[in-house]
Amino acid sequence: MNSDKTNQSVAPAAAPQDERIQKVSFWKKALNRPELGALAGTVLVLAFFITVSSGTGMFTPAGIINFLEVSAQLGIIATAAALLMIGGEFDLSIGSMIGLAGILIAIPAVEYGWPLWAAILLAFACAGLVGVINGNLVNRTGLPSFIVTLGFLFILRGLAIGISRLLTGRTQVGGVEEHIPGDWFAALFSGEVATGLFTWMASQGWIGTNFAGNPSVTGIPVSIVWWLGLTAVATWVLLCTPYGNWIFASGGDANAARNSGVPVRRVKISLFVFTAFSATIFACIQVMDTGSADTIRGLLKELEAIIAVVIGGALLTGGYGSAIGAALGALIFGMVQMGIFYTGVNTDWFQVFLGVMLLVAVLFNNYMRKKAMEAK
């Protein structure tokens, strides 16, 4: 009898204890997530601009598409930069690759009559070659990727200017828009999707229309689709595949990873190729959108990508980070850039905000990492 009563009195106390353990476990997992700081930053930035931009149109359908498009263009290259930084390397040639890829698309199509799909494939082929060279140089020489890709930053920009001046006598090449209609490959990098959905939404009165009765937002720009698609694929690779584990291992401790059988050299080369490809995707979208190429396109984009990745929670030392965090970092970037425009703040102050965000993100990430280590 006594033992039964004892068991009955102890049993109800077990459930609250289990709940406390589950809560502690949940917070430990949350603290270990690299994108936690970026998520908090996104909420704060969103709340700030909702408060100060009332009546400016920033959060109308058109305004949302505007800052999402800015975020998407950065997010495309930030996704690849995130994987490379998790793998323990940097690529400072991304911006120059954007400029060179645009020239490699425009000149063959406009000056020599190539079909646009062939010119785009040429740009991707050259990007792949650049990625392989970068990766091999880093692996074979043992030089920091910062130095190797800094060299290619100047090499690729110089090639873009030199090729353009040699073949056309100028640094801007227009007329690409004439080659876009009917080109099956160019359609992947131009225009909008879900246009029928937005027309229907306008007919239902869910979004506004202009004086001609057309919806104020005609569709989702293809850059946003690329951004979300690349982020989803990169997240799946990092979290659900052996290759994702190899990336983390290569960035965490390359020597230990090699001793465990991880093909570190191949992993890092493939990541450099991916960053070059992402820069070319960015270039394709820009060229199709503007109908022209310019040798100065992509200037400083490599730094913006690194900033977005760091804001997203990645460590500069490698082995830690996420594609979702990079996407949130790009979203913060887009909201701040367009928010300054909508609120009427002098855009000269944008770089100040960018620098402050970077410093705050690094300090916050370090703080959260310490808390995560203490919670273990």
Stretch 230-240: mean pLDDT, rounded?
Answer: 95
293 DSSP β-pair partners: 173
pLDDT for 314: 86
Stretch 56-63: mean pLDDT, rounded?
Answer: 82
For residue 3, what pLDDT band results from cuts at 50, 70 and 90? very low
pLDDT for 22: 55
Residue 174 has pLDDT above 70, yes or no: yes
pLDDT for 15: 53
Residue 7 has pLDDT above 50, yes or no: no
Distance between CA 61 and CA 206 in Å, rounded? 10
Distance between CA 162 and CA 99 in Å, rounded? 12
Distance between CA 368 and CA 65 in Å, rounded? 32
Termini Cα distance of the chain: 42
pLDDT for 271: 96
pLDDT for 375: 53
Answer for the pair 107, 179: CB distance below 8 angstroms, yes or no. no
Helices 61-86/242-252 angle, 10° precision: 70
pLDDT for 8: 47
Other Cβ atoms within 10 Å of 343 Cβ, number: 14
Residue 213 has pLDDT above 80, yes or no: no
Please indicate whether residue 245 or residue 212 has the higher confidence score (pLDDT).
245
Answer for the pair 183, 116: CB distance below 8 angstroms, yes or no. yes
Q: What's the pLDDT tens digit per position in 316-370?
A: 888 888 999 999 999 988 888 888 888 777 777 777 877 777 777 777 766 766 6
Element (H, E) at 173: strand 172-174
For residue 248, what pLDDT band results from cuts at 50, 70 and 90? very high
pLDDT for 1: 45
Residue 269 has pLDDT above 80, yes or no: yes
Stretch 63-67: mean pLDDT, rounded?
Answer: 89
Mean pLDDT of the chain: 85
Stretch 310-316: mean pLDDT, rounded?
Answer: 85
* CB within 8 Å of 256: residues ≥ 6 apart: 249
138-168 burial, b at 16+ Cβ within 10 Å, e below that, comes to: bbeeeeebeebbbebbebbbebbbeebeeee
Answer for the pair 116, 180: CB distance below 8 angstroms, yes or no. yes
Q: What's the pLDDT tens digit per position in 73-85?
A: 999 999 999 999 9
For residue 373, what pLDDT band results from cuts at 50, 70 and 90? low
Q: What's the pLDDT tens digit per position in 23-49?
A: 545 555 655 677 777 888 888 888 888
What pTM does this model have? 0.87
pLDDT for 282: 96
pLDDT for 313: 84
pLDDT for 10: 47
Q: Based on the number of CB atoms within 10 Å of its own CB, is 32 exposed (0-12), middle (13-18) or buried (19 or more)? A: middle
Distance between CA 261 and CA 258 in Å, rounded? 5
Residue 251 has pLDDT above 50, yes or no: yes
